Amino acid sequence: QLAPCDLPALIDQALEIASNDFDLSIGFDFKGQAIVRQFDPNLGPVPCTANELEQVLLNLLKNAAQAIHQRPQASEPGRIVLRTRLNPPWAEIQVEDNGVGMPETVRKRTFEPFFTTKEIGQGTGLGLSVSYFIITNNHKGQMEVHSTPGQGTCFTLRLPLGQPSPTADNQTET
């Protein structure tokens, strides 16, 4: 069931879970200065299923942290930028990192089930395909990814601002 969600609060909650839940051995401190929040003050509550959207955000945060950790030598501190933006008819959420980035051959397969670049035992290859399904199927939204090898990756989620209008067959005559 979709219900109005306060995206900044949901993002902060996902960050809180991420900072307590992720294996600290990956060497990424979510509580450090690495998180930049850019929340659009004009964006009100957005219809969504909070626990599903939180699952998507956790997947994106975990991948971002791992991509940052994989950088050969850090010329700058690891950074994850979390953005919300009112862009009618969409509410947009962006999760951007300055990690290793992806070559185009990998980027094109990002949402394929069971596709992973992680070592055996490190990933199932399902996180992003499930996330894609949650956004596109359950929320009737869009999900895309842009990436530059050596510079980082940005995932953009678009959620419809309004409830989908009822189909003609469940409208009643008045």
Q: Is 26 helix (H, G, I), strand (E, B) or coil?
A: helix
Which CATH code is given to the segment(s) 3-71+78-163? 3.30.565.10
pLDDT tens per residue across span 72-81: 876 778 899 9
Give ∠ CA 29-30-32 in degrees, rounded to 5: 70
CA distances from 34 to 27, 30, 54, 68, 122 (A): 12, 7, 20, 10, 23
Cβ–Cβ under 8 Å, residues 145 and 59: no
Among residues 12, 89, 88, 86, which one has the least CA distance to residue 50?
12
> What local confidence, expressed as pLDDT, does residue 7 receive?
97
Cβ–Cβ under 8 Å, residues 102 and 110: yes
Give domain limits for the chain.
3-71+78-163
pLDDT tens per residue across span 44-84: 999 999 999 999 999 999 888 888 888 887 677 889 999 99
Q: How does residue 117 score in pLDDT terms, banded at 50, 70 and 90? A: confident
Q: Could you tell me the pTM of the whole model?
A: 0.85
Poorest-pLDDT segment among 26-35, 111-120, 157-166: 26-35
> What local confidence, expressed as pLDDT, does residue 91 receive?
97
Quick check: 171 pLDDT over 50?
A: no
